[in-house]
């Protein structure tokens, strides 16, 4: 988001854009942890927390561009090892959330919606901080 704010005409992406992963909104994540704590009855247990689908890095870029209200943005890929973004990057990842679902939990947001909502929230927070900084720096007597 910040990179696109600085240069809204180009977005550099690590990898080839086909990397695909499960994304979860923070509200779903906290709900999953609280649900597991409440229903588990044990202090220590391991669960995968994720969404039930995947989204590609290129789709994430398109969502961010759309949510920021930008026009045509040139996408530049870095083409890391095996199409991933960096050495050791897992190109495709989808977590099995069956164990947590058996406890009655399910994510509210799919991966695309989680990314879209997070983009709105982050862009809004960045605008708010930027506006606060402008007011602070332009205030009389500062």
Give me the DSSP letters along 57-105: HHHHHHHHHHHTT----EEEE---GGGSSSTT--SEE----HHHHTTT-
Q: What is the CATH number of the domain that holds 101?
A: 3.90.25.10
Q: What is the pLDDT of residue 84?
A: 73
Residue 47 resides in a domain: yes
- Split into its structural domains, the chain has a count of 1
Residue 131 resides in a domain: no
pTM score of the predicted model: 0.81
Q: Which domain holds residue 32?
A: 2-121
Q: What is the pLDDT along the chain (142 residues), one digit of tens a residue?
A: 888 989 999 999 988 999 999 999 999 999 999 988 887 777 788 999 999 999 999 999 999 999 999 989 999 998 776 767 777 788 899 999 999 999 899 999 999 999 999 999 998 888 777 655 555 555 555 4
């Amino acid at each position: 988001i910040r990179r696109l704010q600085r240069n809204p005409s180009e977005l550099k992406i690590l990898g080839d854009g086909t990397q695909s992963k499960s994304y979860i909104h923070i509200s779903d994540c906290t709900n999953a942890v609280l649900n597991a704590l409440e229903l588990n009855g044990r202090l220590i247990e391991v669960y995968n927390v994720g969404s039930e689908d995947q989204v590609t890095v290129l789709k994430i870029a398109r969502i961010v561009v759309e949510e920021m209200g930008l026009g045509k943005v040139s996408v530049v890929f870095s083409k890391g090892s095996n199409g991933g973004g960096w050495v050791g990057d897992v190109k495709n990842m989808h977590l099995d959330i069956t164990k947590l679902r058996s406890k009655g939990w399910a994510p509210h947001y799919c991966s695309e919606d989680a990314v879209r909502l997070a983009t709105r929230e982050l862009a809004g927070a960045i605008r708010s901080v930027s506006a606060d900084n402008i007011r602070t720096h332009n205030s009389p007597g500062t």
